[in-house]
Structure 1
Amino acid sequence: MVKTALAPTASGKNGSVTMLDVAHHAGVAIGTVSNVLNHPEGVTPSIRDRVIASIDELGFVRNRTASKLAAGVSNTVGVVLADLDNSYFTDMVRGAERSASEVGKFVVTGNSDIDMSKQRSYLNYFDEEQVSGILVAPLGGVMPPTDRHLAGRRPLVILDAARQQHDHCAVSTNNVAAGWMAAEHLLGLGRRRLIFAGGPVSRSRALADRLQGARDAVDQVAGATLEHISTDEIQIEDGRHVGALLTERTTDTLPDGIVAAADLLALGIVQVLTSSSPYRFPDDIALVACDDNRSAYDSTVPISTVDLPGLEMGSTGMRLLLEELTDGNAHEHQHVTLDPTLTARESTLGRSRSEA
């Protein structure tokens, strides 16, 4: 039987209604009230209905914190994500929540907002709250050494992991394939002077992998070239900076294809090149981005993009976490890599073909 902690009695400091009050009101043992709350299928319907009626009449509210401490089990999973402004990460939450709800668990989310100190605060908070496990999409795709102690106290799964993990389960996107797919799409449309826009690749394994994938694709096509324009971040303003640099070029030095490291970066490029230059998409320059961020959907030119599997990543991460909770010490950590897909839109196909 699952032990259920008793809240303070009605004569206690907070005057709350307790399980004992419900038992007395319904004329049953306190264990019967516990069974109604935890294992209702094992209680005779008439008794169950009587207990539920007493719960409703007295206004009993279950003390879940006390129950958790008594049972040693939490039905809550903490999720810490790098940037909830990016729909890639909100998709992870949706995927995780979908899988958690199937087994009666709840998801509580913390947004680190690309801030290492906030990430650490949320991780420590969830640890102190004794959640059953944690999903985290850490900055740079790597858990800092100062936070690795969490794995010793509760299961932790890394989402959007930058490299192979040994102390945790992890889920990654094949970012090399994403870069290759983006460049190959442009090359297949006959583009030969390509630019990879975005960085800093030295601080992000995901961006470095996308750049490597684009280079691999370009190396397979005779006469094709790839130039890298680095940026401080991969936000809209960084894309506008890239766009401004391109408007200063002469026609013979202008690329005919752009691989943008992220959709928001691509949005900034499009904003500049459609407002202050004679260049047209995709007649003069074709552009494809990576991550399918819905914040870029309002672009004046719909952006072709490599879709990163956020929903599947969150769902897979939750599955791995639930398996670890079930298996205990017998659990073997896994690293799952998911493949991206490409959605072609007007920025590479033109209006008529993208609408077909």
Structure 2
Amino acid sequence: MALDRSTDARQARVKLEDVAARAGVSAGTVSNALNHPDKVAPATRERVVRAIAELGFTPNGAASALASGSTKTVGLVVVDLMNSLFVDLARGAQRAARGLGYDLQLADSDNDLELEASHLDFLSAARVAGVLLAPMHTPHESIVKLRQRGSSIVMLNYESDTDQFCTVLIDNERAGYIAARHLIGLGRKRIAFVGGLHHLQPVALRRAGARRAVAEADGAVELIEIDTVDLNPPSGAIVGKRLVEQPESERPDAILAVTDLLAMAIISEFTAARLRVPEDVAVMGCDHNSAAWGGAVPLTSVTMRGREMGTIGVELLKREISEPAEVHLHQTVTLEPALVVRESTVGRG
């Protein structure tokens, strides 16, 4: 059978605006019909479906989603899949999305702002129904594009400076607070808070929590803040070597690292120098990263509840997709962290 190339070419030239003109609606209404069918009146949606069929418009699978009355894809963009918080978050989101009939498209920005923007632009062009975003900051320009194309957005592990989003957070200030309180409760008097990149919201909040706990000790505990160039193990190793070289009288008796990877690198340097953990120096992390669980000394840390964050994020996104914009109310869900005590602060047994 001969291929009708003229028909293929004609269909390839059909644009969303052509569908809008045939259906007698705006391009925005066609976009909403494709991405948010619940927001479009049934009669209008039928006209759009009929126009799509007549013109042969195929918007990357969205037409079939429109015909069934629902969209089928949501995006998830995370900061760093090397951190098990975001792996857990992705697992929770994927399971919840599947249960609601959605496909989940995952992207890792690898701590790169330009890559994060590129992922968001791709999802915008793909006209996904919604996006779950665990960002480094609020990417305003990319979000504007997503909003213009009718995509809903939910923020994860980041509190935006606006009230335009539903948000799911872990209480990072509380995480830093309970971590420092744990060390203070063990009788530690000189606590080093190790971590850099204070422009990152979770880091700044954990530091604020540690400061609050030390302030409540009324001068009985000293907080020493040690900056690092990043949050990766080599930076922790540099700090560990520096602390090993200090006289015992000046060395902190406890380390609160803002991430578990920093903490484990510090423990490795202490162990190599025959400093005992926790007898000489107690060490703990603050983000319960499974990538740091393989060390010789099991690490005390704070849970981040990633799976719950992903699950709740999808549920909020589904609600926003389903509800008309003028009815939907954005909400913030804050999850409480919990201390996980292991050998690095209390010893064996």
Structure 2 length-normalised TM: 0.79
Q: 2:245 aligns with which of 248, 259, 262?
A: 248
Residue in 2 aligned with 1:58? none
State whether structure 2 residue 143 is matched by structure 1 residue 148.
Answer: yes
Task: Please tell me whether the aligned partners of residues 80 and 136 of structure 1 are also in contact (alpha carbons under 8 angstroms).
Answer: yes
Which aligned pairs between 1:1-356 and structure 2 lie closer than 5 A?
A: 64-68=61-65, 73-139=70-136, 142-149=137-144, 150-152=146-148, 153-201=150-198, 203-222=199-218, 223-275=220-272, 277-329=273-325, 330-352=327-349
The percentage of aligned residue pairs carrying the same residue is 38
Structure 2 CA distance for partners of 1:11 and 1:193, relative to 1, 3 Å: same
Quote the residue 2:36 is aligned against: none
Aligned length: 291
Q: Secondary structure at the match of 1:233?
A: coil
CA contact (8 A) 1:162 1:206 kept: no
Q: Is the 8 A contact 2:159 2:167 kept in 1?
A: no
How far apart, in 2, do the equivalents of 1:71 and 1:143 lie?
Answer: 34
Distance 2:202 2:304 in 1: 11
2:158 counterpart letter in structure 1 = A
Higher CA-based Rg? 1
Please report how far the alpha carbon of residue 321 of structure 1 lies from its aligned counterpart in structure 2 after TM superposition: 0.3
Deviation at 1:68, TM superposition (A): 3.2
C-alpha distance in 2 between matches for 1:272 and 1:10: 71
DSSP 3-state at the match of 1:172: strand
Q: What is the deviation of 1:292?
A: 0.7
Show structure 1 runs of 4+ deviating over 6 A.
none
Indicate how the Cα distance of structure 1 residues 189 and 280 shifts in structure 2: closer, same or farther if over 3 A, else same: same
Return the TM-score normalized by structure 1.
Answer: 0.78
SS of residue in 2 equivalent to 1:228? strand
Distance 1:12 1:177, change over 3 A: same
Residue 41 of structure 2: aligned partner: none
- SS for the counterpart of 2:285 is strand
